[in-house]
Homo-oligomer: A and B are copies of this chain.
């Protein structure tokens, strides 16, 4: 078996693979919405069946306190390393639905891109690992390494139960390295291996005022308006440049070396093109840091939603009884999510508006993650990309979080290789999510090649 045979195999099975992926994408496995609980389970069961079909063994849907985990393995490469592949089969919510050009769970190919919620993040990329195994087993009857899959259904809600599963199943998950495809490439045709991710701390702020909605004409000016109160709290979090005003927020931030910042600066990042792609006329953020640095090595605090009062057509002169906001902070090494939530609470306590009660609930947390970019497993990933894409692989960090990465790092003590195939333009977490099939095709070959590289680690 050589690379050409593998390429040929993927070409010949392309339509069949795409049809299978579409079936996977038709399942609305939105983990954050309780009405989709059964759909999330359907996603797990579909994946288990696909793993069995691929030739993986011990494929099983494992129960957790939340959505289930899917496991499968193939462990017959005696004396060879064991690769643990992690992915997630849950997806983000789809609102605002009216902005989707085609329905989010009716996958369609347009212009060699596959449009559907989850096409890129992360069903498409997880599916590629299963198909790479299937290809090698079909062609050769065996794999160059031992392999284990652990695919969860709660990544988009911050992986609340997987850490416990990992703690309790260390033996099942024992491996030599972990491979994850849930990050992005540097740009079209520009592969990247990511060696650092930001962490996450998410909170909801609920402000309550009068016991019922009031007429704003009769009570405005004499009763604190929960909307004004929440605005006061939210405005206190940041200054106009986005610098976070929460006391001690930056105190644990690990300084990034000049050398590393020089490497970021050398990346061909085109700010003007980025602004054009995003539809903005000016960028934003902390002075002294580049666009890339603001999203990779600096922590953030972003409002994700505000709710309160009347949102229909026209106006309603209401002073609402309550208002809510959702915010998430992205954290960098060595910030700790629990510590940050405590600081947010203290900040709100110190800046509490008069005349209302304020409650803070914390839900989503993830540790930031960093691994040396000169680790052999990382370098091997770079070579696998280069053989297929024929360009130098970039070694990058990313602004997003895969909270479970830090858990794998800390609990299993393994090197984590983040080799993603998504593009930042692919609208994951937004309407019209899609996946460039060029990277689907090349990615299958990169992943297959990496299993041979991994055999020599």
Which residues, 227 to 260 on A, are CB-close (under 8 Å) to B? 227-228, 231-232, 234-235, 238, 240, 242
Q: Which 8 residue pairs across A and B have the least CB separation, nearest first?
A: A211-B279, A305-B309, A217-B400, A32-B314, A221-B300, A235-B235, A213-B430, A227-B303
A216 touches B95 (CB 8 A): no
9-residue interface stretch from A40-48, A126-134, A290-298, A387-395: A290-298
For A272-296 the 0/1 string (1 means CB < 8 A from B) is: 0000001111111110000100110
CB within 8 Å of B: which A388-425 residues: 398-401, 424
The residues of B that contact A158 with a CB separation of less than 8 Å are 315
Query: Could you tell me the distance between the alpha carbons of A70 and B326 in the complex, rounded to whole angstroms?
Result: 47
Is residue A28 contacting chain B, with contact meaning CB distance below 8 A?
no
**B92 to A316, Cβ gap below 8 A?**
yes
Partner of A355, one of B216, B284, B300, B320: B284
Indicate if A23 sits at the interface (CB-CB under 8 A). no
Copies of this protein in the assembly total: 2
Assess whether A427 is in contact with B238, with CB atoms less than 8 Å apart: no
Q: A222-B294, A285-B222 are in contact. Are A33 and B240 (CB under 8 A)?
A: no
A124 CB within 8 Å of chain B: no
Interchain CB contact under 8 A, A93 and B303:
no
At the interface, yes or no: A107 with Cβ under 8 Å from chain B? no
> Which residues does chain B contribute within 8 Å of A285, judged by CB atoms?
221-223
Are B399 and A318 touching (Cβ within 8 A)? Answer: no
Determine whether the beta carbon of A307 is less than 8 Å from that of B306: yes
| Given A218-B399, A355-B284, CB of A95 within 8 Å of CB of B312 | yes
Which of A222, A281, A318 has most chain B Cβ within 10 Å? A222
Residues B399 and A316 in contact, CB atoms below 8 Å apart = no
Q: Which residue among A224, A306, A398 has the maximum number of chain B CB atoms within 10 Å of its CB? A: A306
- Least CB separation from A323: chain B residue: B306
> Measured between C-beta atoms, what is the minimum distance from A238 to chain B in Å?
6
A200 to B95 Cα, complex, angstroms: 34
1/0 per position for A416-457, CB-CB distance to B under 8 A? 000000001001111110000000000000000000000000
Q: Cα distance A232–B235 when bound, in Å?
A: 6
Q: Given A215-B400, A309-B326, 8 other A-B contacts at CB below 8 A?
A: A198-B217, A202-B317, A219-B295, A221-B284, A221-B285, A228-B242, A240-B353, A317-B328
Number of residues from A at the complex interface, CB < 8 A = 96
In the complex the two chains form, what is the Cα distance from A326 to B313 in whole Å? Answer: 10
B-contacting residues of A (Cβ < 8 Å)? 32-34, 92-93, 95-96, 99, 157-158, 184, 198, 200, 202, 204, 209-225, 227-228, 231-232, 234-235, 238, 240, 242, 278-286, 291, 294-295, 298-300, 302-320, 323-324, 326, 328, 330, 353-355, 363-364, 398-401, 424, 427-432
Q: Are B219 and A399 in contact (CB under 8 A)?
A: yes
Whether A213 and B355, one on each chain, are in contact in the complex, defined by CB atoms closer than 8 angstroms, is no
Contact across chains for A328 and B278 when beta carbons are under 8 A apart = no
| CB-contact partner of A316 in B184, B215, B304, under 8 A | B304
- Contact A95–B235 (Cβ < 8 Å): no
Q: Most B CB atoms within 10 A — which of A200, A285, A302, A364?
A: A302
Q: How far is the CA of A33 from the CA of B235 in the complex (A)?
A: 32
Task: Output the nearest chain B residue to A231 by Cβ-Cβ distance.
Answer: B234
When the two chains form the complex, which single residue of B211, B238, B291 contacts A222, counting CB atoms closer than 8 Å?
B291
Task: Select which of B215, B294, B314, B427 is within 8 A of A212 by beta carbon.
Answer: B427
The minimal Cβ–Cβ distance linking A355 to chain B, given in whole angstroms, is 4
Structural contact, B95 and A32, CB atoms closer than 8 A:
no
Complex contact A204–B291 (CB within 8 A): no
Subset of 7 A-B contacts with CB under 8 Å = A157-B314, A213-B431, A215-B400, A218-B424, A222-B291, A314-B363, A315-B364
**Interface contact A278-B211, CB-CB below 8 Å:** yes
A430–B309 CA distance with the chains assembled, in angstroms:
11
Known interface pairs A93-B310, A218-B398, A310-B304. Does A315 touch B278 (Cβ–Cβ under 8 Å)? Answer: no
Set of chain B residues within 8 Å of A33, measured between Cβ atoms: 312-314
- A428, B225: Cα distance in complex, Å: 17
A294: chain B residues at CB < 8 Å are 221-222
Query: Which residues of chain B are within 8 angstroms of A198 by Cβ–Cβ distance?
Result: 217
A93: chain B residues within 8 A (beta carbon): 310, 312, 316
Question: Given known contacts A306-B227, A315-B304, is B240 in contact with A430 (CB within 8 Å)?
Answer: no
